[in-house]
Amino acid sequence: MTAPVRRPAGLPARRGGDDTLVMGVLNVTPDSFSDGGAHPGVAEAIAHGRRLVAEGADIIDVGGESTRPGADRVEADEELRRVLPVIAALAAEDVVVSVDTMRSAVAAAAVEAGALILNDVSAGLADADMGGTAARLRTRLGTPPVLVAMHWRGHSDVMNSLARYDDVARDSAAELAERLDALRRAGVEDRFLVADPGLGFSKTGEQNWELLADWDTMASHGLPLLIGASRKRFLSSLGVDRDAATAAVSAYSAQHGAWAVRVHAVAPTLAAVRVGDRLRRSARR
């Protein structure tokens, strides 16, 4: 029998029920691995965010710095220039916005612009002030932002060289547990934390499949779980369209109780998570 979906506090009440949410990816970058350069200006990015919402996205994750393998870091000022006007415009339309950043200064500015979620792929390792900043901030709803903490071992220029594990699921879960404890010590409450196992980050293709297959270990933190498999290279090993493979992983994730899946293609994912949701509810009867 499967467990109900765990949910973080700090989000509008309508974002809940017993459904897995769909987080639409909106990269305002020239070099992201899938959609880099697709939305080169503010107006184009805002329009794409609106399209993702119209297709059924519950959350829009706005990123101004690529985290693909080998990507160069951008200056904080440039990251802010890219993301803030997009966040402000979408939040003004009552869209639930997440900011994909490793910088506490960008996180603070994004929350001021209307973001409700901080999606830090480094779980505070890249910026030691992230936890304390997240704990002190208050969103437009009057609560701390939700903080997504992902398993991460190093920046894009070195992460592929760090894919060495005795047991990828257990090792990455243990390392993420250490980061979650550090964020708690910085003042972040469990009810505002989300865990992300870090598919594609410092993991080989085979390791990604091993990680996904060990759901109980991925979910062992007792927190809401975000799964980000969308269009990642390990899916190409199946010899099928990556969006179709992403949808299949999304259905699997929803069936197992993921809080949200982070994807580029919303429409096929929405259908997939609804199937997974329905199977999970039936299994609990």
User: Which of the residues are catalytic?
Assistant: 232, 262
Which residues lie below 8 Å from residue 233, measured CB to CB, with a gap of 6+?
200, 205
| DSSP code of residue 72 | P
Listed residue (8, 100, 57) closest to 273, CA to CA: 57
- Measured CA to CA, the distance from residue 4 to residue 222 in angstroms comes to 12
Listed residue (231, 229, 233) closest to 253, CA to CA: 229
List of long-range contacts for 250-253, beta carbons under 8 Å, 24+ apart: 250/20, 250/22, 250/276, 251/275, 251/276, 252/212, 252/276, 253/20, 253/225, 253/227, 253/229
Listed residue (225, 175, 178, 233) closest to 209, CA to CA: 233
- Measured CA to CA, the distance from residue 108 to residue 83 in angstroms comes to 12
Q: Beta strands of the chain (E only): which ranges?
A: 21-27, 59-63, 97-100, 117-120, 146-150, 193-196, 226-227, 260-263
- Measured CA to CA, the distance from residue 185 to residue 179 in angstroms comes to 10
